[in-house]
Amino acid sequence: MVYIRQDKLPKLKEYKYSGVDHSLVSRYVLKPFYTNIVIKCFPMWMAPNLITTIGFSFVVTNFLTLLWYTPTLDQDCPTWVYASWSIGLFLYQTFDAVDGSQARRTHQSGPLGELFDHGVDACNTTLEVLIFAAAMNFGQSWKTVLTLFASLLTFYVQTWDEYHTHTLTLGIISGPVEGLLTLCIVYALTAINGGGSFWQQSLLATVGIPHYSFIPSFIYDLAWNEWYLVYGGIVLVFNTIQSSQNVIEARRGRGQRARRALLGLVPFFTTWTLIPMYLWLQPIILEQHLVPFAFFAGLINAYSVGQMIVAHLTKSRYPYYNVLLLPLFYGVFDSLGPVLQHFGEKVVGGDLGRFLGWPSALGDGVYQVAFVFCCLGLAVGVYGSFVVDVITSICDYLDIWCLTIKHPYVEPTEEKEKKGN
């Protein structure tokens, strides 16, 4: 399948990166650190995308230790595991931030860099959600699903914002900056406090606040990890509203209707209507096989985000269709039949009640588990073919390589003479 039409390829040469970062932490702490120290550690021959790939390998290593020590996301790990998660994520954030500086430094900036960077970030989002869930001892539960929803929505909305405004906007508090730093701190504190069980204690009781009569019990008993969900929910709402305002203002400034742009959020919320429905109908997947299903959900989002980025780079129409939703639709349809059938027999009764539903082809046992792994395999195949085809198309058209520098920048003679003088 061809993901970039030939007549859209010339638009790649019109690409120009535009980004705004309002984060105070980024401006006064991280950027000076990257510019004055980190960037000097990378040689001029190293391609920016190679830096991104190496950074992502730290997160992959973290995830492999998770699978070894806590595959169910609810067991305490050795202290060094949590420490390695903190270090690995910080290195990922650093490498992911420096690749842009390396691109400008080596004069390799281009559309492939943005696509590659966003694609890696999309994959990292799901991995980091599972690692965070393991650090908090969420287990295979609705808390993990809720965390996945919030993280994927943040990434989707940010990319949707960039498509319509043509500018990557990071707010005062953003996922790539404060969000990742918060996770690094959480992992480090988990190591210091001896494991994820610490976060299941009441926050207010742990810090020594008495249970005053005006504090409701359900608030006083909220655990650390539950307070984090509250905090994350507030930030999520704030960022989503901010991105929506950015899009509405940009569309109106160009004399376009904002309502049409808001329809771009429909694919995401369609997906996240089906996901909780399927997990509610199939508790065996939620409670025993959530990790592979989370990967499947993450790849659905990564594919949608990837299509958005390609449309942004080639100035194409907004992508509303995602083929990976089809197996999810089927899973919900197949699982819903027996529920409706049972409802019909109990409430309606008679022949009409029996015909209200339909029997499940997959059942609720081993075939349902096999279905989830088949969905995951399909998602890997579809997203993998998308990544390979798009990277190959861009590299061939722009005459560049992905992980190495094909045409090193040669400084003009006049500039060399000026520097010599």
User: Each residue of 33-63: pLDDT tens digit?
Assistant: 998 899 999 999 999 999 999 999 999 999 9
Please list the active-site residues.
Answer: 118
Give the 3-state secondary structure of residue 223. strand
Can you name the residues that pair with 19 across neighbouring β-strands?
Answer: 168
19-21 vs 168-170, strand pairing mode = parallel
Strand (E) or helix (H) holding 231: helix 224-253
373-381: list long-range contacts, CB under 8 Å, 24+ apart: 373/292, 374/327, 375/293, 375/296, 375/327, 375/328, 375/331, 376/292, 376/293, 376/295, 376/296, 376/299, 378/324, 378/327, 379/295, 379/296, 379/299, 379/300, 379/303, 379/324, 380/299
> What integer pLDDT is reported at residue 419 of this predicted model?
58
Which residues lie below 8 Å from residue 99, measured CB to CB, with a gap of 6+?
A: 48, 49, 51, 52, 55, 113, 117
> What integer pLDDT is reported at residue 233 of this predicted model?
87
Please give the model's pTM, rounded to 2 decimal places: 0.92
Contact 112, 79 (CB under 8 A): no
Angstrom distance (rounded) from CA 25 to CA 340: 52
> What integer pLDDT is reported at residue 190 of this predicted model?
93
* Positions in the chain whose pLDDT score sits under 50: none
User: Each residue of 57-98: pLDDT tens digit?
Assistant: 999 999 999 999 999 999 999 999 999 999 999 999 999 999
Contact 42, 102 (CB under 8 A): yes
Strand (E) or helix (H) holding 169: strand 168-170
User: Each residue of 149-167: pLDDT tens digit?
Assistant: 999 999 999 999 999 998 8
